[in-house]
Amino acid sequence: MERKKIAIIGVGLIGGSLALQLHEKKLSSKLIGVDSDPSHAQKAVELELVDEIMTLDDAIAAVNVIVLAIPVNAILKLLPPLLDKIDQQIVVDLGSTKSLLINAIKAHPKRGRYVATHPMWGTEYSGPEAAVREAFEDKAVIICNAHESDTDALEWVKAMYKKIGMHLLEMEAEAHDLHAAYVSHISHITSFALANTVLEKEKEENAIFELASAGFESTVRLAKSNPAMWAPIFMQNKENVLDVLKEHIAQLTRFKESIEKEDNDYLMKLIENANKIRRIIK
């Protein structure tokens, strides 16, 4: 596979982790970082995530591939003018929502140079220091509206993801956003809400720290996630997020009512039905 000069726009958790893999799998001949936060840019160089830092325009001119690893609201703003500036560079984004992005550049003459992807991996941490080696191994990556991308761009992106250990799925953007709301976005909202509930009701921070079990820690872990990343995701995927929230609230209400009415049989049925998830997640 031909090594390419690659620019990563946003050298935080996701961009930084990808940079480590691009280095180690010898996919890049040179890695250039672009970041609006000077401290992130400096740290990315210190940690050897990238070879050097450039401005966006200089990076565009210097590379063959441009990776967008920034919040989805920033991608939506940047993508159309970025396509205006490129020649034959490949542009790939790593955002968690897809429909708005794809619709924004649907009629762009250079639409084919863009490959819309969503690697299904992340942690609750952020910034270059949070970058993880082998982060994407054995994880899924969704490629959306693949037929709208140029063959050479699509094939290089697919080969890149395979080389870093990911398995590929193709999906239309609308389907992706729906499924992402069910299996990812609602998990984060639930975690944020649970953290707010505990912080509101339990005023003793030491009690939270001392008494929190592994179950609580695993459930609320996502509440430490970066708000600058997640608020735009919820807003861009508004309809699907509201749909899944409505169902989630209905499920919570069923638990509430069964406990209020001391309906042990119904409470048992709710829990037993939830246990069916074992068939899917071991």
Q: Which domains does the chain have, with CATH numbers?
A: 4-171 (3.40.50.720), 176-279 (1.10.3660.10)
What distance in Å separates the CA atoms of residue 50 and residue 9, rounded to the nearest whole number? Answer: 11
The count of residues in the chain is: 282
Confidence band for 1, pLDDT divided at 50, 70 and 90: confident
Q: Tokens in use for 245?
A: 């929230």
- Mean pLDDT on 50-61: 97
Kindly state the DSSP code that residue 183 receives in the 8-state scheme.
I
What distance in Å separates the CA atoms of residue 185 and residue 250, rounded to the nearest whole number? Answer: 17
Report pLDDT digits (tens) over 238-250: 999 999 999 999 9
- Residue 87: phi and psi, rounded to 5, are -105, -90
Q: Helix or strand or coil: residue 114?
A: strand
Cβ atoms of 50 and 31 within 8 Å: the answer is: yes
Report pLDDT digits (tens) over 103-149: 999 999 999 999 999 999 999 999 999 999 999 999 999 999 999 99
Among 172, 176, 222, 215, which Cα is nearest to 196's? Answer: 222
pLDDT at 99: 98
Confidence band for 160, pLDDT divided at 50, 70 and 90: very high
- How many alpha carbons fall within 13 Å on the CB side of residue 256? 6
209, with CB counted inside 10 A (0-12, 13-18, 19+), is exposed
Does residue 215 register a pLDDT over 90?
no
pLDDT at 169: 98
**Which residues, at least 6 apart from 58, have a Cβ–Cβ distance to it below 8 Å?**
none
Strand partners, 34: 9
Confidence band for 214, pLDDT divided at 50, 70 and 90: low
What distance in Å separates the CA atoms of residue 14 and residue 124, rounded to the nearest whole number? Answer: 11
Report pLDDT digits (tens) over 219-264: 889 999 999 999 999 999 999 999 999 999 999 999 999 999 999 9
